[in-house]
Structure 1
């Protein structure tokens, strides 16, 4: 029992550690060498590096420790444990990469002209790192803790708080880096947000069909036979007609969308069909845990 619980915890902790390693790499390999920026509290560490040459690992630790303690007292719970793991591993990997760069074992990507390339790669690496951390319930501290506190205490949404912090930090960065670099930073932030969503929502996308028809049982049989997909029949009553019908619910891959639509229309041309995006699917015929 204890062994199984430990394995499950490791399945969560290890990806968080890997995610912080990727994030730290993106920060020191792409962002700082090209004088780009980052939002949130990480942006403060980058500003401190530009203004006073303070190492990101040191400033990350100093800023996040009081935030973590406040968050632990106010928020509590399991989330704080994973946040602590995220902060600790991020600090460790930042320090390790700083040492490797200082000794010349890693040469950061630095450009004087092609900043769009640096922005794209920065966005991909930062987004991949954060996406993995978020997907497994962790955070890298900083803005996430502040946002959760403001949400809990004052009712502000986490998105509003994080956006306000990003605007303030990016505004302050104009004192140290040119506007051009801020604009390139926005490219990196946009790419990172898309990568985070991609990782959190799942790499496998599918479509969910909701079909209301007088011939739903016949339609369900054909879908089961011809597409070999599971189908759920749900009894429903039309409010206007007061007639009892069946509603079909079925999830298919992207490649099967056209075929399912053809089957539905061939059985009942008047069928009412709703198609929704499904970002992540687990189970028989799709991803298995």
Structure 2
């Protein structure tokens, strides 16, 4: 843990809190889906009634181990911090948050607000060389191999997961979720690159 600066710890924790708030208070409460492992976790919740706070950790563990081998222990430590803190914040909000943000009749503003919030949280975590879980590590690896931006890879991966979400969502909800994913991808790239090159964030 000596490799992790306290500034990075604060950024990861703050980013995880924003991320969990966006997923729970906007997406989950307004029946919007999500891409990546969160989208898979939401699908599992609909079918098996298992909290995303549990499913995401189970999905993350194998890729966190892979990331430690290929990208270094520093990223693995930060990913564990991001994954565990996200799951903890989500579980706490799920059980104790008194806030209800009902935008079910205004899905376009909900999608844009969700994408912006999630993109900020994710960008803060990735900016300091961290990750929230296995899908982040997968995106970082694919970004290095393909030279595509992290945000674009997220967009492609998320679109594939959203197709699966049609099992429990309508086309109407999926289309608005895709708007959220696009806003999230743009926001993530912006936050990562703001006054800081992406490459130095993962050095």
- The 5 Å alignment of 1:149-228 reads 149=141, 155-157=145-147, 162-202=154-194
Paired with 1:143 and 1:187, the residues of 2 have a C-alpha distance of 20
- State the partner residue of 1:126: 118
Paired with 1:78 and 1:191, the residues of 2 have a C-alpha distance of 29
- The 5 Å alignment of 1:11-30 reads 11-30=7-26
Unaligned runs of at least 5 residues, structure 2: 197-203
In structure 2, the CA distance between the partners of 1:162 and 1:130, relative to structure 1 (3 Å rule), is closer
State the aligned residue count. 193
Unaligned runs of at least 5 residues, structure 1: 203-279, 282-289
TM-score normalised by the chain length of structure 1: 0.60
**Are 1:138 and 2:130 counterparts?**
yes
How far off its partner does 1:200 sit?
2.4
Report the structure number with the largest CA radius of gyration.
Answer: 1
- State the partner residue of 2:80: 84
| Greater helix fraction, Structure 1 or Structure 2 | 2
Which structure has more RCO (C-alpha within 8 Å, separation ≥ 6)?
A: 2
In structure 2, the CA distance between the partners of 1:148 and 1:119, relative to structure 1 (3 Å rule), is closer
**Are 1:61 and 2:62 counterparts?**
no
In structure 2, the CA distance between the partners of 1:13 and 1:186, relative to structure 1 (3 Å rule), is same
Paired with 1:68 and 1:60, the residues of 2 have a C-alpha distance of 12
Report if aligned partners of 1:40, 1:142 keep a CA contact under 8 Å in 2. no
Paired with 1:199 and 1:26, the residues of 2 have a C-alpha distance of 16
How far off its partner does 1:125 sit?
1.1
Stretch moving more, 66-75 or 177-186: 66-75
SS in 1 for 2:167: coil
- State the partner residue of 1:97: 93
Report if aligned partners of 1:19, 1:128 keep a CA contact under 8 Å in 2. yes
Paired with 1:188 and 1:57, the residues of 2 have a C-alpha distance of 21
- 1:60-119 per-residue CA deviation (whole Å, 9 max, x = no partner) reads 111112221232233323222211111111111111111214xxxx23212331111211
Paired with 1:71 and 1:198, the residues of 2 have a C-alpha distance of 24
Root mean square deviation of aligned Cα: 2.4
In structure 2, the CA distance between the partners of 1:65 and 1:190, relative to structure 1 (3 Å rule), is same
Paired with 1:192 and 1:163, the residues of 2 have a C-alpha distance of 9
**Are 1:36 and 2:28 counterparts?**
no
Paired with 1:180 and 1:29, the residues of 2 have a C-alpha distance of 20
How far off its partner does 1:151 sit?
6.4
